[in-house]
Amino acid sequence: MTHGNKLSDKPIPVRERLIFALDVPTVNEARALVEALGDAVQFYKLGLQIFMAGGYYELIDWLTASRKKVFVDLKFFDVPETVKSAVAQLRGRGVSFTTVHGNEGILRAAVDAGSGLQILAVTVLTSLDRGDLNDLGFDCNVEDLVLSRARRALAIGCSGVISSGLEAERLRDELGDRFLVVSPGIRPVDNTVADDQKRTVDVEEAFRKGADYIVVGRPIRNAPNPREKAEEIQARIASLFGSETGK
Report, as residue numbers or ranges, the catalytic residues.
Answer: 75
Residue 5 β-bridge partners: 2
* DSSP reduced 3-state for 99: strand
Instruction: Give CA–CA dist 2/221, Å, rounded.
Output: 35
From first CA to last CA, the distance across the chain in angstroms is 13
Task: Give the list of residues 6+ apart from residue 101 with CB closer than 8 angstroms, or none.
Answer: 75, 76, 77, 121, 122
Nearest to 205 by CA among 217, 232, 187, 192: 187
Cα 77–164–211 angle (5° rounding)? 110
* DSSP reduced 3-state for 115: coil
